[in-house]
Amino acid sequence: MTFLRRLAVWPCLRLPVRGLYSPTLDVAAAGTVPRVSLTRSKGQLCTHSRKLHSESPSSEATEVELNKLDGGDIGIVEVVMCRQWARNSLGKVFVHQMQELVSTLHHDSAVRVVLFRSAVPGVFCAGADLKERAQMTNAEGERFVHGLRSLMTAIAMLPMPTIAAVDGFALGGGLELALACDLRTAAFSAQMGLIETTRGLLPGAGGSQRLPRAVGFSVAKELIFTGQRLGGERALQLGLVNRAVEQNHDGDAAYKEALGLAREILPQGPIAVRMAKEAMNRGIEVDIASGMAIEGMCYARVIPTRDRQEGMAAFIEKRPPQFTGE
């Protein structure tokens, strides 16, 4: 399947593959969200069809875009969240665009690793768009949360490995998005938490189910009951993230760590990696005997592949394998 180099549903905010940025904050009136701009230190400047600081963005603005890496990183695809004016909060347009991009990824056999990252300095995803939610009726709110839950499930069901790069705030639905990914990296300065109980709610997009699977039952209960926030170091200690690093001057330390992790996955047999993910994801939900049967079925699907033959030949010939995903 042909994969577009940059696929987006609307005219887009471009983010260079490896361009570095440093955040500058323009503090707005008290009680409002600070306006954020990007100052590029390398590569081309981000462009957009309107001013980045607009408080009333056009409905045609891109809030999520897909970025396919090239060169030695072919096979790594980034889902870039760029809802600048609302700190990547989960609004209707954001969720709709994310759903369409995730659906596209699900059917693309050329994609080997998906990396979820933010183009907004200091923020991964700030959670629900409370301004939008306040305008919804109870029934509309329930339908919207159902759509959020479906989005997180679609992310979790992507057949290839997924990595969330948490370089800033990942609160409520933002952490639920990260939890829907297979792996997570974080900067020490990141702030993560399922804070819904502080708003009179509970996690409604999978957090009450995925957090216990990540950190254990009793720890997850404590975190959700108290609504507390964790920094990157504490998140690493609890197993909430796989890797945590000091934040750098450019504010993208977690992204760089995630990209390095993606590069470690990239050379491995893509079919084998996908089948390993399926075996683990399905097996963890059943008893050990059923899990063994699932593993056997996944293993059987790898046996007839050219990649398995290539892996064996490369081992015998003492050379790196050249996997093609066939």
* Residues assigned a catalytic role: 128, 173, 176, 196
Residue 291 CB partners (closer than 8 Å, separation 6+)? 279, 282, 283, 284
Estimate the crossing angle of helix 173-180 against helix 207-215, to 10 degrees.
60
In degrees, rounded to 5, the angle at the alpha carbon of residue 162 between the alpha carbons of residues 158 and 163 is 160
Copy the structure tokens of residue 121.
């300095």
Measured between alpha carbons, how far is residue 289 from residues 36, 295, 301 in Å? Answer: 52, 10, 19
CA distance 73 to 267: 10
| DSSP single-letter state for residue 278 | H
CA neighbor of 74 nearest in space, from 136, 17, 132, 138: 17
